[in-house]
A and B are shown apart, each in its own frame.
Chain A
Amino acid sequence: MSDRVMTKADIEAAEHLQHAHVEPKDFISRYIFSIDHKYIGKQFLWAGLLFLLFGGLLAMLIRWQWAFPAQPVPVVGKSLFPQSGGAITPPAYNTLFTMHGLIMVFFAITPLMIGAFGNYTIPLLIGARDMAFPKLNMYSFWTFALSQCLVIASFFVELGSAAAGWTTYPPLSTNVGTPGNGQSLVVLALFVTGVASIMGAVNYITTVIRFRAPGMTWFRMPATVWGLWLTSILNLLFVPVLGSAGILLLFDRHFGTQFFVTGAAGGIGDPILFQHLFWIFGHPEVYILILPVWGFLIDFMSFFARKPAYWYKGSVYAMIAVSVLSAVVYGHHMFVSGMSPLLGQAFMLLTLVISVPAEILFLNWLHTMWKGSIRLTVPMLFALGTVFVFGLGGLTGIYLGTISTDLYLHDTMWVVGHFHLTMASAAFLGSFGALYFWFPKMYGRMTNETLGKVHFWFSVIGVTAVFCGQLLAGYNGQQRRLYDPFQYTYIQHLRDLNKYTSYFAFALGLGQLSFVVNFFYSIFAGKKADKNPWDVGTLEWTECESPPVYHNFDKVPIVLRGPHEYNNPDVLAKTGRDWVGQSEQLPGEEHGLDAIAAE
Chain B
Amino acid sequence: MKSLHRLLTAVGTASAVLATAGFAFADPIPETTIWGLPRDASAEGHRVDWLIKTTNGFVILLFVVMCVWMALAVVKHNKDHKADYDHGDSKHHIAIAMGVSAVIFFVVDGNLWFNSTIDVNSTFWNHQAVEKDPNAVRIEINAHQWAWDARYAGPDGKFNTKDDVVTLNDVRVPVGSPVLLQLAATDVIHSFYLPNFRIKQDAAPGMVNRMWFKAKDTGEFDIGCTQHCGVHHYKMKAKLTVLEPSAYKAWLEEMSAQKAQAYDEKDRGANWGWEWKQPHDNIDSRGGAAVSEADHDHGDKVAAQNRGAQ
Contacts and interface: CB of A to CB of B under 8 A. Distances in A.
Interface of A: 90-91, 94, 159, 164-165, 169-172, 176-177, 179, 262-266, 269-272, 305-314, 336-338, 341, 344-345, 348-349, 352-353, 355-356, 359-360, 362-364, 366-376, 384, 387-388, 391-392, 395-396, 398-399, 401-405, 407-408, 410-412, 472, 475-477, 479-485, 487-494, 496-497, 564, 566-569, 578
26 contacts: A90-B234, A169-B227, A171-B189, A172-B228, A263-B295, A265-B303, A271-B206, A307-B86, A311-B97, A337-B202, A341-B125, A353-B105, A369-B74, A370-B69, A371-B84, A372-B83, A391-B67, A404-B120, A408-B48, A476-B31, A476-B38, A477-B38, A480-B228, A489-B27, A490-B38, A496-B34
Contacts of A479: 193, 224-226
Contacts of B295: 263-264
Contacts, number: 328
B235 interface: yes
Contacts of A407: 48, 124, 198-200
Which one of B31, B116, B185, B201 has the highest number of Cβ atoms from chain A below 10 Å of its Cβ?
Answer: B116
B200 A475 contact: no
Given A345-B120, A363-B97, A372-B83, A399 B231 contact: no
B124 A384 contact: no
A569 B83 CA distance: 11
B208 to A, nearest CB: 8
Interface string B192-214: 01011011111011110110000
Given A264-B205, A490-B195, A408 B31 contact: no
A425 to B, nearest CB: 15
Contact of B87 (A308, A376, A483): A308
B34 to A, nearest CB: 5
Contact of A411 (B38, B144, B200): B200
Given A359-B101, A359-B105, A405-B55, A265 B86 contact: no
Contacts of A368: 88
A355 B310 CA distance: 45
A402 B232 contact: no
Nearest to B223: A488
B124 A404 contact: yes
Interface of B: 27-39, 47-48, 51-52, 55, 59, 62-63, 66-67, 69-70, 73-74, 77-89, 93-94, 97-98, 100-102, 104-105, 108-109, 112-113, 115-117, 119-121, 124-125, 144, 185-189, 191, 193, 195-196, 198-202, 204-207, 209-210, 221-222, 224-235, 237, 283, 295-296, 298-300, 302-303, 306, 310
B104 to A, nearest CB: 6
A483 B231 CA distance: 9
B69 A366 contact: yes
Contact of B55 (A305, A398, A482, A492): A398
B88 A364 contact: yes
Contact of A266 (B94, B97, B296): B296
Contact of B204 (A271, A308, A348, A494): A271
Nearest to B101: A359
Given A310-B88, A402-B113, A477-B37, A395 B231 contact: no
B230 A313 contact: no
Nearest to B127: A341
Contacts of A374: 73-74, 77-79, 81
Nearest to A172: B188
B81 A372 contact: yes
Contacts of A264: 144, 186-187, 205, 295-296, 298-300, 302-303
B86 A308 contact: yes
A552 B234 CA distance: 55
Nearest to A305: B83
B183 to A, nearest CB: 8
A493 B34 contact: yes
Contact of B283 (A165, A338, A363): A338
B234 A338 contact: no
B234 A482 contact: yes
B228 A164 contact: yes
